[in-house]
Structure 1
Amino acid sequence: MSTGGKGGGKKSAGGGSRATGSAPGTSRNLTVKVKTAKRRKLSSTLWLQRQLNDPYVHEAKRQGWRSRAAFKLIQLDERFHILKPGLRVVDLGAAPGGWTQVAVQKIGGKAGGVVVGMDILEWDPVPGAITLQGDFLADDAPDRLKEALGGPADVVLSDMAAPTTGHPSTDHLRIIALVEVALHFALEVLSPGGTFVAKVFQGGTEKTLLDALKKNFATVRHAKPPASRQGSAETYVVAMGYRGDTI
């Protein structure tokens, strides 16, 4: 099972020019069509065509975000006010760094503010953040993250994704397993009042996971930000107001 992060190739280590989740303009009126190459699978061709015609992809490049996924976090933050100056933030499944960039910009370098990102993939450092490479499922990963944080976290973000099989129920179980591990870590490091955000598939969370979230957090919501592709089954669970010591 992979604990890789958001889609999008590596970019330079620059930050976004502004954190706004407004829908990008659709100035590209012509649809770019990609011919199927001899050695390219149809699925790869369709993915490339989506990328070329995705306004969020173009806007991410224009604003300096490393991936279109940055807009998902920006939009979630606009709705739930997750990120604030001076917070300690953990970004799991961080590569190529779009969410980490947003977190750095939102906390604003205020005293006490720390952003730590981890991904199993190699990724370029993000200015203002601590970037770690490693498998979050490895035994030493929680200790590495805690050491980098230097104290309790205020926000734990997880955009981790397992490789999809094309079988909805299997994919759902795989990503729920990642969320459960991320939640266990969050319950260890969050300070009271903290927030946990994680990607799940449509259909919501499993009952046991949802029960754990409701037990440990004052408010639990599901949300699909506009930047999530309409055809995607992904959605996000946002758990706010960590009660503390209720595992």
Structure 2
Amino acid sequence: MTEKRSSRPGGRQAAVRVKTAKKRSVSSARWLERQLNDPYVAEAQKRGFRSRAAFKLLQLDDKFRLLAPGRRVVDLGAAPGGWTQVAVERVRSNSSTGGGQVVGLDILEMDEVPGAITMQADFLDETAPGRLKAALGGPADVVLSDMAAPTTGHAQTDHLRIMGLAEAAYDFAEEVLAPGGAFVCKLFQGGAERDLLDRLKRDFAIVRHAKPAASRADSSETYLVATGFRGGAAKRTDEDNRDGE
């Protein structure tokens, strides 16, 4: 059995200071300094992860046990592939015995991830759910979304855009999830998520908020983790029962 690797960086690193240069602004110098001093960035490079965001999924999985070996997983907005890499590792989709299946889907072109199927497609396309289930060999056990809409600089507009993206991601998940499945999506705190929460609480047994340690402290991002999907055949049965009352 493959040992599960730690979801936190190991060891300590010396602090790096970055000065402004002739062609470097103060803001870019601050960004570079933060990157160079971020232990998750260093650990991601050390482990071969394509982004520091991989540790967010590792920590979410440690807490909620989403990615058991053998499960079918779809990663929406997968580029550059950090979450897809974690899913491959945790469901053992590159294993010949009892391994799962992972599909990384993005509208952008993405380098292949060993052990996963990568699809360049718009998940909003009406043919996407069928193509996804065909690639997985059946419905998904887990749908992941770490997508974030491009920012405009206007906080209210940006929040509405990320909420619209999260709701679209769930529209897709509702089409492809197997009963008992899980859905994870990124949100930014801002108070306009009630409609999505109501839908998830209706369709899942448990819905929780989580902010993994790898999320930067100054970020308003949080994740919704919904488990125990009551959709598919189970949801249709409930609706039929209510219609017959």
Report the counterpart of residue 40 of structure 2 in structure 1. 56
1:32 aligns with 2:17: yes
Q: Is the 8 A contact 2:104 2:119 kept in 1?
A: yes
Match of 1:182, SS state, is helix
Distance 1:123 1:146, change over 3 A: same
1:171 aligns with 2:158: yes
1:105 aligns with 2:97: no
* 1:96 CA drift (Å): 1.1
Q: Which amino acid in the other structure matches residue 20 of structure 2?
A: K
1:151 pairs, out of 119, 125, 138, with 138
Q: Is the 8 A contact 2:9 2:43 kept in 1?
A: no
Distance 1:103 1:74, change over 3 A: same
CA deviation map 1:129-151 (0-9, x unaligned): 00112232334333332221120
Q: Is the 8 A contact 2:79 2:106 kept in 1?
A: yes
Number of aligned residue pairs = 229
1:231 aligns with 2:218: yes
1:69 aligns with 2:56: no
Q: CA RMSD in A?
A: 2.0
Q: Is the 8 A contact 2:173 2:183 kept in 1?
A: yes
* 1:83 CA drift (Å): 0.5
Distance 1:244 1:69, change over 3 A: same
Match of 1:121, SS state, is coil
* Identity level (%): 63
Q: Is the 8 A contact 1:194 1:242 kept in 2?
A: yes
1:80 pairs, out of 64, 74, 86, with 64
Report the counterpart of residue 194 of structure 1 in structure 2. 181
Tell me the distance in 1 between the aligned counterparts of 2:192 and 2:66.
20
* 1:21 CA drift (Å): 1.2
1:47 pairs, out of 16, 23, 31, with 31
CA deviation map 1:149-172 (0-9, x unaligned): 120100000011111122222111
Query: Which is bigger in relative contact order (C-alpha 8 A, separation at least 6)?
Result: 1
* Superposition TM-score, scaled by structure 2 size: 0.86
Structure showing greater Rg:
2
* 1:112 CA drift (Å): 6.0
Report the counterpart of residue 96 of structure 1 in structure 2. 80
Q: Which amino acid in the other structure matches residue 218 of structure 1?
A: A
The answer for unaligned runs of 5 or more in structure 2 is 237-245
Tell me the distance in 2 between the aligned counterparts of 1:34 and 1:134.
41
The answer for unaligned runs of 5 or more in structure 1 is 1-16
* 1:79 CA drift (Å): 0.6
Match of 1:241, SS state, is strand
Q: Is the 8 A contact 1:204 1:222 kept in 2?
A: no
Distance 1:136 1:42, change over 3 A: farther
Match of 2:208, SS state, is strand
- Which structure has more helix as a fraction of its residues? 2
Tell me the distance in 2 between the aligned counterparts of 1:144 and 1:41.
45
Q: Is the 8 A contact 2:20 2:26 kept in 1?
A: no
Report the counterpart of residue 230 of structure 2 in structure 1. 243
Q: Is the deviation greater in 43-52 or in 64-73?
A: 43-52
Tell me the distance in 1 between the aligned counterparts of 2:9 and 2:129.
36
Report the counterpart of residue 8 of structure 1 in structure 2. none
Distance 1:214 1:115, change over 3 A: same
Tell me the distance in 1 between the aligned counterparts of 2:191 and 2:81.
26
* Superposition TM-score, scaled by structure 1 size: 0.86
Distance 1:146 1:204, change over 3 A: farther
